[in-house]
A = this chain, B = another copy of it.
Amino acid sequence: MMFNNNNITISSKASIGKNVRIGDYTIIFDNVVIEDNVIIAHNCILGEPLNEYYFNPGYKNPSTVIGANSLIRSHTIIYAGNKLEPCIVTGHRVTLRENNFIGNHTVIGTLSDIQGNVIIGNYCKLYTNVHIAAMSRIGNFVSIYPFVVTTNDPYPPSDDLKGVTIKDYTQVGAHSTFLSNTIVGENCLIGVDSVITRNFPDFSLIMGNPAIIKMDIRNYVVLGKGRLYPWMYRFSRGMPWENIGYDAWINKQF
């Protein structure tokens, strides 16, 4: 009952792959490419025109790609110029501003807002209401929990904008905030409500306002559970090393 072909608007300049399902009231603008087996739920806007559209009669919409096998949940807005790799999932009411690149198998949660010119790697999970500032770089296998905010202006208001960098495997606790231009290394764990005001090296357990290194995460032991990080040796659901183990998988990569 979700796919009734009721009030769907598709530009004649859009390209729709095989076995694509589209929910009611969804609008697909010029130069959007929907690859095969994509599901798009209700009320989505794909290829939302940039601001220039309203004022320039010669405006041409940049191309937008939704990778194969992706699931775009209802009320999501994806601006023109986004490139989504295959197997991406969005929650509801997601906003992707222009010119982001989103890696394969990444999940972007309900209400999250990716501000534009952002690169996000593969197999990331952004939970509800995550705010990624323009020009940020997120690695692979990164999880960002609800209500995390990254910023990009070092002395507001200015035009000297610089995004943040969060490297592979790092886990960012809910409600944390990042100052512009900060870099957090690989395999870090950031506690909830932390404020990241400087750079941190790989394998840091990070907490506080301003955040500091509490210890090397490899030394973090939970009673009765032992060492829990790096987490890839104990958690594999939905990851490419599911069923074979992280060591076997990583050895195949190189």
Contacts and interface: CB of A to CB of B under 8 A. Distances in A.
A18 B54 CA distance: 16
B131 A143 contact: no
Q: DSSP majority for the A interface?
A: loop
A129 interface: yes
A231 interface: yes
Contacts of A248: none
Contact of A24 (B9, B48, B75): B9
A1 B29 contact: yes
Contact of A179 (B156, B158, B192): B192
A179 B192 CA distance: 8
A143 B155 CA distance: 12
Interface residues of A, number: 68
A159 B110 contact: no
A175 B130 CA distance: 12
A1 B11 contact: yes
Interface string A162-176: 000000000101110
A186 interface: no
25 contacts: A1-B29, A1-B30, A2-B29, A2-B49, A4-B9, A7-B25, A25-B43, A92-B95, A93-B93, A110-B113, A115-B128, A131-B147, A143-B156, A143-B157, A145-B151, A146-B149, A146-B151, A149-B174, A155-B229, A156-B231, A159-B237, A174-B177, A175-B177, A179-B192, A193-B195
